[in-house]
């Protein structure tokens, strides 16, 4: 095997496993700083984040751009997890059918770049929908989080049940609170789509729909090192064309469209006469064909998406209570529901990172344009008062990093108490589950007919959902969080020292 191809395979496997480790971190061992550092080289999420804040992520972004300006789109065959994911299918297709050959395809540059332009304009105009649907890191993340993650937890739980028989609890059962049928179905459908496309057409996705591919394709036109075919060495045997995943080599003209080339180096391995050259190009005349195709292609993913919503709704585990909120509750660090929805590509890294699994994928809660974006799901769990994980892993900057002190006064919403539904009123018995769980004591108990009744101090509430989660009333919760469209700053809990009634110098009062 040619050394370039060998390096590519090794690098791609390392990056792939690293990406998987982030999304399959079911034991919560990967530190958020590592996660953030690593996702920083994912070119589009890092670009979005860099537009918001300059951080460690920006270094990664610069690295990926520089890499492309030096060596072409090697990113697409190493760093991009969706690229490697497609390579598995391409590899499989060639294992199954050894005679399978790639054929040159006229570059779809015009459509691809136009699609990127639309994607970008739409994003600037406030909708990340096309990024959400086609950005490769996002889509791979969703497959990994929703599908692989599910399998990993199922395996873990199988092992935990076995070990439990022997009194071993070190592998513990992991609840599956964050899995939503709609999101899982979408991820599965995307995996099937990308699997089929790559199995039959190679890396067509990367040269037609992928926004990162378009950006890097454009940059690679100016790369320092480029691949070209040595016309004298080439015997027109087609071996390279047959092995080209991107279908960018045309034997007839002995040319290679470097802007479509994903840098897999299969051609180096295939060429029997060492006719492939990887040369410094800045001093040479360009010999790249930039033949833009005018073929039309209809993207019809929206229709299945709507169909899936209907299936998803019918499959979604019915909550035992329903609250019609005017807005979904957006995670801490999102600043406002609108801002979050405008920036989040729904990669679900925060969903995976959330230790309480209160973050879960929505479907259309943020509207069509915000499909699959994560929301707070207080049916499953509530937001831990001392946790800031989600805000520290977001690769796109849709969630801005919070420190603990900021988080503790970030008001996502406010608890709304419906007295007439409360146990204390309806059953004339003490309960207090809501106040018990409240970390700020915004929900506290006041005397009521010989019992204790909850009362909410709006200003101190941070909307963490602990009260709503704990409330035992069905079908309508007696206390639930109403979202703040724009997150507010809560008042700090009041602190007064209690009176001391007993200390160890006194005699026992009994």
Partner 1 sequence: MNRREFMKWSVGAGVVAGTSMVTGYEKLFSSTSKAASLPYHLVAVKGGEPDVMFQKGIEALGGIRAFVKKGQKVVIKPNIGWDVTPERGGNTNPILVAEIVKQCLHAGAKEVYVFDHTCDNWQQCYKHSGMEAAVKNAGGKMAPAHTENYYHDIALPNAKNLKTTKEHELLLESDVFINVPILKNHESTRITISMKNMMGCVWDRRFWHGNDVHQCIADFAGYRKPALNVVDAYYVMKQNGPRGVSTNDVVLMKSQLLSTDIVAIDTAATKLFGENPADVRHIHIAAENKVGRMDIENLNIKRISV
Strand partners, 376: 359
Q: Per rule CB under 8 A, is residue 317 in the interface with partner 1?
A: no
> How far apart are alpha carbons 149 and 478 in whole angstroms?
34
Q: Per rule CB under 8 A, is residue 430 in the interface with partner 1?
A: yes
CA separation (Å) from 462 to 193, 338, 478, 496?
41, 19, 18, 20
Collapsing DSSP to helix, strand or coil, 132 comes out as helix
> How far apart are alpha carbons 388 and 405 in whole angstroms?
10
Contact (CB, 8 A) for 63 and 219: no
Q: Per rule CB under 8 A, is residue 309 in the interface with partner 1?
A: no
Tokens in use for 461?
A: 């509430």
Q: Per rule CB under 8 A, is residue 441 in the interface with partner 1?
A: yes
Strand partners, 276: 229
Which of 308, 387, 399, 483 lies at the binding interface for partner 1 (CB under 8 A)? 387
Q: Per rule CB under 8 A, is residue 445 in the interface with partner 1?
A: yes
In the bound state with partner 1, the residue whose beta carbon lies nearer, of 314 and 505, is 505
Sign of CA dihedral 262, 297, 363, 187: negative
Q: Per rule CB under 8 A, is residue 452 in the interface with partner 1?
A: yes
Which of 31, 126, 158, 175 lies at the binding interface for partner 1 (CB under 8 A)? 175
Using CB under 8 A as the binding rule, the residues of this chain from 232 to 291 that contact partner 1 are: none
- H-helix segments, 354-501: 404-407, 423-426, 433-437, 466-470
* HSE-up (13 A, CA, CB side) for residue 435: 15
Q: Per rule CB under 8 A, is residue 404 in the interface with partner 1?
A: no
195: closest CA among 361, 31, 187? 187
Which of 98, 167, 420, 449 lies at the binding interface for partner 1 (CB under 8 A)? 167
In the bound state with partner 1, the residue whose beta carbon lies nearer, of 344 and 423, is 423
Q: Per rule CB under 8 A, is residue 324 in the interface with partner 1?
A: no
Using CB under 8 A as the binding rule, the residues of this chain from 453 to 472 that contact partner 1 are: 470, 472
Contact (CB, 8 A) for 464 and 434: no
Q: Per rule CB under 8 A, is residue 495 in the interface with partner 1?
A: yes
Q: Per rule CB under 8 A, is residue 510 in the interface with partner 1?
A: yes
Interaction mask 358-377, partner 1, x per CB under 8 A: --------------------
What count of residues does the chain have? 510
Q: Per rule CB under 8 A, is residue 153 in the interface with partner 1?
A: no
Q: Looking at 160-168, 187-195, 198-206, 362-370, which segment touches partner 1 (CB under 8 A)?
A: 160-168
Q: Looking at 77-85, 132-140, 223-231, 500-508, which segment touches partner 1 (CB under 8 A)?
A: 500-508
| Torsion on CA atoms 147, 351, 435, 444, rounded to nearest 10 | -160
377: closest CA among 180, 182, 150? 180
| 277 contacts: CB under 8 Å, gap ≥ 6 | 227, 228, 229, 230
> How far apart are alpha carbons 215 and 251 in whole angstroms?
26
Contact (CB, 8 A) for 160 and 172: yes
In the bound state with partner 1, the residue whose beta carbon lies nearer, of 412 and 473, is 473
Least distance in Å: CB of 277 to partner 1? 55
Tokens in use for 204?
A: 């067509």
Q: Looking at 258-266, 325-333, 338-346, 421-429, which segment touches partner 1 (CB under 8 A)?
A: 421-429
> How far apart are alpha carbons 232 and 43 in whole angstroms?
37
Q: Per rule CB under 8 A, is residue 319 in the interface with partner 1?
A: no
> How far apart are alpha carbons 179 and 147 in whole angstroms?
9
Q: Per rule CB under 8 A, is residue 125 in the interface with partner 1?
A: no
Q: Per rule CB under 8 A, is residue 509 in the interface with partner 1?
A: yes
Which of 76, 399, 423, 481 lies at the binding interface for partner 1 (CB under 8 A)? 423
In the bound state with partner 1, the residue whose beta carbon lies nearer, of 298 and 508, is 508
Q: Looking at 105-113, 305-313, 369-377, 441-449, which segment touches partner 1 (CB under 8 A)?
A: 441-449
Tokens in use for 420?
A: 């007439």
Least distance in Å: CB of 356 to partner 1? 5
Q: Looking at 119-127, 163-171, 235-243, 270-278, which segment touches partner 1 (CB under 8 A)?
A: 163-171
In the bound state with partner 1, the residue whose beta carbon lies nearer, of 298 and 510, is 510
> How far apart are alpha carbons 155 and 309 in whole angstroms?
28
Number of residues counted as binding partner 1 (CB under 8 A): 52
> How far apart are alpha carbons 213 and 292 in whole angstroms?
16
Q: Per rule CB under 8 A, is residue 432 in the interface with partner 1?
A: yes
Least distance in Å: CB of 499 to partner 1? 8
> How far apart are alpha carbons 119 and 129 in whole angstroms?
8
Q: Per rule CB under 8 A, is residue 440 in the interface with partner 1?
A: yes
| 100 contacts: CB under 8 Å, gap ≥ 6 | 93, 94
Contact (CB, 8 A) for 442 and 458: yes
Which of 80, 433, 456, 490 lies at the binding interface for partner 1 (CB under 8 A)? 433
Which of 264, 456, 467, 473 lies at the binding interface for partner 1 (CB under 8 A)? 473
Least distance in Å: CB of 384 to partner 1? 5
Q: Footprint of partner 1 on this chain (CB under 8 A)?
A: 28, 161, 164, 167, 169, 172-175, 355-356, 381, 384-387, 423, 427, 429-433, 435-441, 444-445, 452, 470, 472-473, 493, 495-505, 507-510
């Amino acid at each position: 095997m040619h050394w370039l191809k060998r390096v590519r395979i090794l690098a791609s496997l390392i990056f792939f496993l690293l990406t998987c480790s982030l999304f399959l971190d079911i034991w919560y061992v990967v530190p958020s700083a590592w996660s953030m550092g690593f996702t920083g080289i994912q070119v589009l999420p890092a670009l979005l984040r860099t537009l918001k804040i300059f951080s460690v992520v920006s270094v990664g972004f610069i690295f990926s751009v520089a890499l492309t300006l030096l060596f072409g789109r090697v990113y697409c065959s190493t760093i991009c997890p969706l690229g490697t994911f497609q390579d598995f299918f391409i590899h499989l297709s060639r294992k199954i059918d050894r005679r399978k050959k790639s054929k040159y395809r006229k570059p779809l540059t015009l459509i691809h770049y136009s699609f990127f332009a639309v994607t970008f304009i739409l994003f600037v105009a406030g909708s990340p929908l096309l990024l959400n649907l086609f950005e490769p890191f996002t889509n791979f993340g969703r497959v990994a989080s929703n599908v692989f993650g599910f399998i990993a937890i199922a395996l873990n739980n199988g092992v935990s049940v076995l070990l439990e028989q022997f009194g071993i609890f070190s592998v513990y059962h992991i609840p599956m609170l964050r899995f939503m049928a709609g999101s899982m179905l979408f991820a599965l459908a995307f995996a099937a789509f990308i699997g089929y496309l790559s199995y039959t057409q190679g890396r067509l996705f990367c040269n037609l729909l992928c926004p990162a591919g378009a950006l890097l394709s454009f940059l690679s036109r100016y790369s320092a090192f480029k691949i070209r075919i040595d016309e004298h060495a080439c015997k027109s045997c087609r071996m390279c064309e047959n092995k080209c995943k991107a279908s960018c080599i045309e034997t007839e003209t002995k040319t290679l469209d470097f802007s479509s080339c994903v840098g897999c180096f299969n051609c180096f391995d295939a060429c029997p006469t060492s006719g492939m050259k990887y040369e410094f190009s800045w001093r040479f005349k360009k010999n790249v064909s930039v033949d833009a195709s005018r073929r039309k292609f209809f993207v019809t993913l929206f229709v299945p998406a709507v169909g899936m919503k209907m299936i998803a709704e019918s499959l979604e585990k019915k909550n035992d209570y329903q609250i019609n909120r005017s807005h979904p509750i957006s995670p801490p660090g999102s600043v406002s529901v609108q801002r979050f929805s405008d920036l989040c590509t729904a990669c679900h890294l925060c969903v995976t990172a959330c230790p309480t699994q209160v973050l879960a994928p929505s479907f259309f809660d943020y509207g069509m344009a915000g499909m699959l974006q994560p929301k707070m799901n207080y049916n499953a769990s509530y937001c831990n008062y001392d946790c800031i994980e989600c805000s520290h892993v977001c690769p796109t900057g849709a969630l801005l990093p919070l420190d603990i002190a900021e988080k503790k006064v970030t008001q996502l919403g406010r608890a709304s108490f419906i007295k007439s539904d409360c146990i204390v009123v309806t059953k004339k018995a003490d309960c207090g589950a809501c106040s018990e769980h409240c970390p700020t004591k915004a929900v506290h108990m006041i005397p009521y007919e010989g019992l204790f009744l909850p009362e909410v101090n709006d200003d101190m509430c941070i909307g963490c959902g602990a009260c709503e989660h704990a409330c035992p009333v069905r079908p309508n919760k007696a206390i639930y969080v109403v979202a703040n469209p724009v997150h507010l700053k809560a008042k700090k809990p009041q602190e007064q020292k209690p009176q001391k009634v007993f200390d160890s110098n006194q005699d026992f009062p009994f």
